[in-house]
Amino acid sequence: MSACDMESVLAQITSSSTHPAITNIIRTAADADILPVLKFECWVGLSPRNFLRIRPALRLASQIMRSPRGLQFFYARARGNTEVVFDDRDINQLRFDRDDRTPNAHLPPEHAAIAHAYLNDLVMAVTLAFEPRPDETEGDCEALPHDRIHWSQPGIRSRVVMNEKHLHRLDLMQTLGPAVLKQWVIMATTLCHELSHAFNMAFEGQEDHEMFFEDDTFCELGHAFEKFVIGGQVLVERGPAGEAMLVMHEWSSSHMSKVYAAGGTYVPTVSRAVEPNPLDMTVVQDSWTERLFNDERFWDETLVRDGGQSLRIPVNVFARREREEYITKVASEWVRATGWTRS
């Protein structure tokens, strides 16, 4: 896509926004550096218009993966300490961890450079597309077992498939107002989740074979990345008045079904036999979301100073009464939708 074409499409998109701040976010993202794997040429069948509409999400995903804790996670997977452990069924698993687990630690410059290089090399291992998926699925990472790649050892390529509902949600927004920030956050965190799986397959060379990360009680690197870097998985739920709200699920081990694959690995899934626990949910404040897009000093200074701690979503920031009312509503809707009954 030429610079002239990009500017023409960009003008069409920004003209639909009546919010100067949103227009500025879109224009800033159009010129921002993003991971090579997220650039236009890596997307199959994506129009220039849609690419520019999701560009703020692509920039945010790149920033999260390149954040201090993001780099720590990927360096640990590539070069960190690895040990054999036994799970609660006495099946041996591999666990990897960081050399330095100090909360605000930074990678040494030479290690950070290696992590950056691996993230840049994902462009050789992954293609991306938007396709129809079940409504509850935000995205998938599909292994291409016969398409090999060689990093430190033989691995396999993959394709990340984003649910096309992400684009449909943008279509429903007649004007690109503040609500679009929530949609960009969901897209960005979903990409981080699925690219964590792709990163692992490029190293591992096997489908559905993942390690424990540090003290996690599950083998699922998408959730492990989200938990480590931002605190948990972010989803859109409806608030008490029907408004769209971001909610973080912290995925405690009590809400994981341990599903064993042929190789003995288990991964977390939401158990339909377990009642939702209010303590596993945190309502994400708009101030956290807005800071990601509007505060350049947050990325350039704050995260550098605190080692990425500020990127983690604050928990228990919702007023207790409002939080309990909201969670009760979510739980009731969940019970109706699933037909769950207490045994």
**Distance separating alpha carbons of residues 203 and 77, to the nearest angstrom:** 9
Residue 86, domain member (yes or no): yes
Cα 38 versus chain centre, distance? 14
User: Residue 12 is part of which domain span?
Assistant: 3-338
Residue 144, domain member (yes or no): yes
Residues 68 and 107 sit within 8 Å (Cβ to Cβ):
yes
pTM of the full structure:
0.84
231 Cβ contact partners less than 8 Å away, ≥ 6 residues apart: 248, 250, 282, 312, 313, 315
**Distance separating alpha carbons of residues 326 and 80, to the nearest angstrom:** 41
**Distance separating alpha carbons of residues 116 and 343, to the nearest angstrom:** 49
Take residue 113 and report the two structure tokens written for it. Answer: 């450079």
**Distance separating alpha carbons of residues 171 and 184, to the nearest angstrom:** 13
Reported as a single tens digit per residue, the pLDDT across 174-214 is: 556 678 899 999 999 999 999 999 999 998 766 667 888 99
126-131 β-sheet, strand order = 43-44, 126-131, 154-163, 139-150
User: Is pLDDT above 80 for 120?
Assistant: yes
Residue 65, domain member (yes or no): yes
User: Is pLDDT above 60 for 276?
Assistant: no
| Beta bridge partner(s), residue 85 | 93
Range from 56-70, 118-132, 156-170, 243-257 carrying the lowest mean pLDDT = 243-257
Residue 81, domain member (yes or no): yes
**Distance separating alpha carbons of residues 266 and 219, to the nearest angstrom:** 6
Total domains in the fold of the chain: 1
Residue 207, domain member (yes or no): yes
User: Is pLDDT above 70 for 319?
Assistant: no
DSSP-derived pairing of the beta strands 154-163 and 259-260: unpaired
How would you class 158 by CB atoms within 10 Å of its CB: exposed for 0-12, middle for 13-18, buried for 19 or more? Answer: buried
Residue 343, domain member (yes or no): no
3-state secondary structure of 264: coil
Residue 42, domain member (yes or no): yes
**Distance separating alpha carbons of residues 277 and 215, to the nearest angstrom:** 21
Compute the Cα dihedral for 263, 269, 274, 279 and give only its sign: positive
